Protein backbone atom coordinates (compact mmCIF):
# COMPACT_ATOMS: atom_id res chain seq x y z
CA UNK A 1 0.00 0.00 0.00
CA UNK A 2 1.23 3.48 -0.87
CA UNK A 3 1.32 5.40 2.41
CA UNK A 4 2.61 8.68 0.97
CA UNK A 5 0.82 11.83 2.16
CA UNK A 6 -1.52 13.08 -0.57
CA UNK A 7 -0.61 16.62 0.46
CA UNK A 8 2.87 16.03 -1.01
CA UNK A 9 1.73 13.93 -3.96
CA UNK A 10 3.08 15.68 -7.09
CA UNK A 11 0.06 14.42 -9.05
CA UNK A 12 -2.33 16.47 -6.86
CA UNK A 13 -3.51 19.73 -8.49
CA UNK A 14 -3.26 22.24 -5.66
CA UNK A 15 -4.88 24.96 -7.80
CA UNK A 16 -8.25 23.21 -7.53
CA UNK A 17 -10.09 23.63 -4.22
CA UNK A 18 -13.04 21.21 -3.97
CA UNK A 19 -14.47 23.26 -1.06
CA UNK A 20 -14.57 26.63 -2.81
CA UNK A 21 -18.09 26.22 -4.25
CA UNK A 22 -19.47 25.12 -0.88
CA UNK A 23 -17.80 27.99 0.97
CA UNK A 24 -19.52 30.38 -1.41
CA UNK A 25 -22.92 29.04 -0.31
CA UNK A 26 -22.54 29.32 3.46
CA UNK A 27 -21.07 31.58 6.11
CA UNK A 28 -19.95 28.49 8.05
CA UNK A 29 -16.23 27.84 8.29
CA UNK A 30 -15.79 24.67 6.26
CA UNK A 31 -12.88 23.12 4.39
CA UNK A 32 -10.33 25.33 6.11
CA UNK A 33 -7.44 22.97 5.45
CA UNK A 34 -4.50 22.50 7.75
CA UNK A 35 -0.84 23.19 8.15
CA UNK A 36 0.67 20.23 9.94
CA UNK A 37 -1.62 19.62 12.93
CA UNK A 38 -3.05 23.13 12.97
CA UNK A 39 -5.29 25.31 10.84
CA UNK A 40 -3.65 27.59 8.26
CA UNK A 41 -2.64 31.00 9.56
CA UNK A 42 -5.22 32.82 7.41
CA UNK A 43 -8.05 30.76 8.93
CA UNK A 44 -6.78 31.38 12.46
CA UNK A 45 -6.50 35.14 11.90
CA UNK A 46 -9.95 35.26 10.29
CA UNK A 47 -11.46 33.49 13.32
CA UNK A 48 -9.71 35.83 15.75
CA UNK A 49 -10.89 38.86 13.77
CA UNK A 50 -14.50 37.63 13.80
CA UNK A 51 -14.29 36.98 17.54
CA UNK A 52 -12.94 40.49 18.14
CA UNK A 53 -15.73 42.04 16.04
CA UNK A 54 -18.33 40.10 18.03
CA UNK A 55 -16.86 41.32 21.33
CA UNK A 56 -16.71 44.89 20.03
CA UNK A 57 -20.37 44.71 18.98
CA UNK A 58 -21.38 43.66 22.50
CA UNK A 59 -19.39 46.36 24.28
CA UNK A 60 -19.66 49.28 21.83
CA UNK A 61 -21.84 52.18 23.05
CA UNK A 62 -24.81 53.28 20.95
CA UNK A 63 -24.45 56.79 19.48
CA UNK A 64 -27.90 58.15 20.34
CA UNK A 65 -27.34 61.52 18.65
CA UNK A 66 -26.47 59.89 15.33
CA UNK A 67 -29.35 57.44 15.65
CA UNK A 68 -31.87 60.19 16.41
CA UNK A 69 -30.61 62.14 13.38
CA UNK A 70 -31.05 59.07 11.16
CA UNK A 71 -34.59 58.49 12.45
CA UNK A 72 -35.60 62.15 11.94
CA UNK A 73 -38.03 63.66 11.07
CA UNK A 74 -39.74 61.15 13.39
CA UNK A 75 -39.72 62.31 17.00
CA UNK A 76 -37.62 60.37 19.50
CA UNK A 77 -37.36 60.10 23.27
CA UNK A 78 -34.44 58.55 25.16
CA UNK A 79 -34.65 56.15 28.09
CA UNK A 80 -32.38 53.73 29.92
CA UNK A 81 -32.99 50.57 31.86
CA UNK A 82 -32.08 50.11 35.51
CA UNK A 83 -28.70 48.73 34.40
CA UNK A 84 -26.49 51.78 34.84
CA UNK A 85 -23.54 50.57 32.75
CA UNK A 86 -22.57 47.81 30.32
CA UNK A 87 -20.90 45.62 32.91
CA UNK A 88 -24.04 45.54 35.06
CA UNK A 89 -26.20 45.04 31.99
CA UNK A 90 -24.28 41.91 31.00
CA UNK A 91 -24.26 40.49 34.53
CA UNK A 92 -27.84 41.41 35.49
CA UNK A 93 -30.30 40.70 32.66
CA UNK A 94 -33.20 41.42 35.04
CA UNK A 95 -32.18 45.08 35.34
CA UNK A 96 -32.16 45.43 31.56
CA UNK A 97 -35.86 44.53 31.54
CA UNK A 98 -36.91 47.36 33.88
CA UNK A 99 -37.13 51.05 33.05
CA UNK A 100 -34.94 53.51 34.93
CA UNK A 101 -36.46 56.39 36.87
CA UNK A 102 -35.45 59.13 34.41
CA UNK A 103 -36.96 57.17 31.53
CA UNK A 104 -40.19 56.66 33.45
CA UNK A 105 -40.42 60.41 34.04
CA UNK A 106 -39.81 61.13 30.36
CA UNK A 107 -42.54 58.72 29.27
CA UNK A 108 -45.01 60.14 31.79
CA UNK A 109 -45.08 63.40 29.82
CA UNK A 110 -45.71 61.71 26.45
CA UNK A 111 -49.08 61.22 24.68
CA UNK A 112 -50.78 57.91 25.44
CA UNK A 113 -52.85 55.38 23.51
CA UNK A 114 -50.93 54.87 20.25
CA UNK A 115 -51.68 51.78 18.18
CA UNK A 116 -47.98 50.98 17.93
CA UNK A 117 -44.80 52.22 19.58
CA UNK A 118 -41.34 51.49 18.18
CA UNK A 119 -38.58 50.89 20.72
CA UNK A 120 -35.04 50.90 19.31
CA UNK A 121 -32.81 49.13 21.84
CA UNK A 122 -29.06 48.55 21.82
CA UNK A 123 -29.35 44.96 23.08
CA UNK A 124 -26.24 42.88 22.49
CA UNK A 125 -25.12 44.63 19.32
CA UNK A 126 -25.19 48.40 19.17
CA UNK A 127 -23.43 48.00 15.82
CA UNK A 128 -26.52 46.34 14.34
CA UNK A 129 -28.79 49.08 15.67
CA UNK A 130 -26.56 51.87 14.37
CA UNK A 131 -26.53 50.40 10.86
CA UNK A 132 -29.98 48.87 10.39
CA UNK A 133 -32.53 50.33 12.83
CA UNK A 134 -33.26 53.70 11.18
CA UNK A 135 -33.76 52.33 7.63
CA UNK A 136 -36.05 49.64 8.99
CA UNK A 137 -38.12 52.11 11.03
CA UNK A 138 -38.62 54.31 7.97
CA UNK A 139 -39.51 51.33 5.78
CA UNK A 140 -42.03 50.10 8.35
CA UNK A 141 -43.59 53.55 8.76
CA UNK A 142 -44.20 53.72 5.01
CA UNK A 143 -46.33 50.60 5.36
CA UNK A 144 -48.06 51.56 8.62
CA UNK A 145 -48.83 55.21 7.99
CA UNK A 146 -52.54 54.72 8.73
CA UNK A 147 -51.84 53.64 12.33
CA UNK A 148 -51.31 55.93 15.30
CA UNK A 149 -47.67 55.68 16.32
CA UNK A 150 -45.94 57.46 19.16
CA UNK A 151 -42.44 58.91 19.20
CA UNK A 152 -39.70 56.33 18.66
CA UNK A 153 -38.21 55.35 22.02
CA UNK A 154 -34.41 54.97 22.02
CA UNK A 155 -33.43 52.64 24.85
CA UNK A 156 -29.96 51.81 26.13
CA UNK A 157 -28.78 48.89 28.28
CA UNK A 158 -32.03 47.30 27.15
CA UNK A 159 -33.38 43.76 26.91
CA UNK A 160 -36.40 42.79 24.81
CA UNK A 161 -38.78 42.83 27.77
CA UNK A 162 -38.04 46.50 28.45
CA UNK A 163 -40.47 47.16 25.62
CA UNK A 164 -43.27 45.72 27.78
CA UNK A 165 -42.62 48.30 30.49
CA UNK A 166 -42.37 51.11 27.93
CA UNK A 167 -45.48 50.05 26.03
CA UNK A 168 -47.53 49.71 29.21
CA UNK A 169 -46.56 53.17 30.45
CA UNK A 170 -47.57 54.64 27.09
CA UNK A 171 -50.83 52.71 26.92
CA UNK A 172 -49.82 51.36 23.50
CA UNK A 173 -51.81 48.68 21.73
CA UNK A 174 -48.58 47.07 20.53
CA UNK A 175 -44.86 47.55 20.91
CA UNK A 176 -42.22 46.63 18.34
CA UNK A 177 -38.73 46.32 19.82
CA UNK A 178 -35.88 46.62 17.30
CA UNK A 179 -32.84 45.24 19.07
CA UNK A 180 -29.29 44.16 18.35
CA UNK A 181 -29.06 40.36 18.36
CA UNK A 182 -26.31 38.41 20.07
CA UNK A 183 -23.38 38.58 17.62
CA UNK A 184 -21.89 35.41 16.20
CA UNK A 185 -18.67 34.56 14.43
CA UNK A 186 -20.20 35.03 10.99
CA UNK A 187 -22.38 38.13 11.59
CA UNK A 188 -21.81 40.71 14.32
CA UNK A 189 -24.46 43.23 13.24
CA UNK A 190 -27.75 41.33 13.00
CA UNK A 191 -30.98 43.09 14.02
CA UNK A 192 -34.12 41.48 15.44
CA UNK A 193 -37.69 42.75 15.83
CA UNK A 194 -40.02 41.57 18.61
CA UNK A 195 -43.71 42.46 18.35
CA UNK A 196 -45.94 42.24 21.44
CA UNK A 197 -49.69 42.94 21.58
CA UNK A 198 -51.00 44.47 24.80
CA UNK A 199 -47.56 45.10 26.33
CA UNK A 200 -47.32 44.83 30.10
CA UNK A 201 -44.65 43.73 32.55
CA UNK A 202 -44.49 39.97 32.86
CA UNK A 203 -45.26 39.08 29.25
CA UNK A 204 -43.67 35.78 28.23
CA UNK A 205 -41.49 35.29 25.16
CA UNK A 206 -44.17 32.96 23.79
CA UNK A 207 -46.45 36.01 23.60
CA UNK A 208 -44.24 37.75 21.05
CA UNK A 209 -43.56 37.39 17.34
CA UNK A 210 -39.95 37.65 16.23
CA UNK A 211 -38.39 38.69 12.93
CA UNK A 212 -34.67 37.97 13.09
CA UNK A 213 -31.53 37.90 10.98
CA UNK A 214 -31.90 41.40 9.47
CA UNK A 215 -28.47 42.34 8.11
CA UNK A 216 -26.46 42.85 4.96
CA UNK A 217 -24.58 39.55 4.68
CA UNK A 218 -27.24 37.32 3.22
CA UNK A 219 -29.80 38.23 5.88
CA UNK A 220 -33.33 39.59 5.58
CA UNK A 221 -33.55 42.96 3.78
CA UNK A 222 -35.33 46.06 5.04
CA UNK A 223 -38.22 45.79 2.58
CA UNK A 224 -38.89 42.13 3.38
CA UNK A 225 -38.61 42.73 7.13
CA UNK A 226 -40.90 45.78 6.95
CA UNK A 227 -43.47 43.88 4.88
CA UNK A 228 -43.48 41.03 7.38
CA UNK A 229 -43.72 43.40 10.36
CA UNK A 230 -46.61 45.32 8.78
CA UNK A 231 -48.47 42.07 8.11
CA UNK A 232 -47.95 40.89 11.70
CA UNK A 233 -49.02 44.26 13.13
CA UNK A 234 -52.28 44.26 11.17
CA UNK A 235 -53.04 40.64 12.02
CA UNK A 236 -52.21 41.28 15.69
CA UNK A 237 -54.54 44.27 15.76
CA UNK A 238 -57.32 42.33 14.04
CA UNK A 239 -57.03 39.26 16.25
CA UNK A 240 -55.93 40.92 19.48
CA UNK A 241 -52.88 38.77 20.11
CA UNK A 242 -49.28 37.98 19.23
CA UNK A 243 -47.02 35.03 19.93
CA UNK A 244 -47.43 31.34 19.25
CA UNK A 245 -51.12 31.79 18.45
CA UNK A 246 -50.32 34.22 15.62
CA UNK A 247 -48.82 32.08 12.88
CA UNK A 248 -46.81 33.71 10.12
CA UNK A 249 -49.11 32.84 7.23
CA UNK A 250 -48.01 35.80 5.14
CA UNK A 251 -47.76 34.97 1.41
CA UNK A 252 -44.23 34.31 0.24
CA UNK A 253 -42.33 37.36 -0.96
CA UNK A 254 -40.45 37.57 -4.29
CA UNK A 255 -36.77 36.75 -3.89
CA UNK A 256 -35.79 40.29 -4.89
CA UNK A 257 -37.41 41.74 -1.77
CA UNK A 258 -34.88 39.97 0.41
CA UNK A 259 -32.12 42.25 -0.82
CA UNK A 260 -30.94 44.75 1.77
CA UNK A 261 -32.60 47.89 0.47
CA UNK A 262 -34.70 50.49 2.22
CA UNK A 263 -37.41 50.52 -0.46
In a domain, 159, yes or no: yes
What's the structural domain count of the chain? 1
In a domain, 178, yes or no: yes
pLDDT tens, residue by residue, 23-80: 777 777 777 777 777 777 777 777 677 667 767 667 688 999 999 999 999 999 999 9
In a domain, 123, yes or no: yes
Gap between the Cα atoms of 230 and 236, Å rounded: 10
The conformation of residue 209, written as its DSSP 8-state character, comes to E
In a domain, 134, yes or no: yes
Exposure b/e, 105-144, CB count within 10 A at least 16 = b: ebbeebeeebebbbbbbbbbbbbbbbbbbbbbbbbbbebb
**What is the CATH number for 111?**
3.40.50.11240
In a domain, 3, yes or no: no
E strands present in 127-232: 152-156, 174-180, 191-197, 208-214
- Enter the pTM of the model: 0.81
pLDDT tens, residue by residue, 172-227: 999 999 999 886 666 778 899 999 999 999 999 999 999 999 987 778 999 999 99
What residue numbers bound the domain in which 178 lies? 63-244
In a domain, 50, yes or no: no
Amino acid sequence: MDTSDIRTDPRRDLSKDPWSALRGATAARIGLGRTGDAMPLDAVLDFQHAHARARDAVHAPLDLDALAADIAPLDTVRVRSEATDRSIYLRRPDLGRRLGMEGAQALAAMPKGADLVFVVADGLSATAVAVHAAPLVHAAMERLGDLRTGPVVLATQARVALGDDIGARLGAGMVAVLIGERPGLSVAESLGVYLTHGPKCGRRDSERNCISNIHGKGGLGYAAAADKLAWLVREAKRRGLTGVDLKDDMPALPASTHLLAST
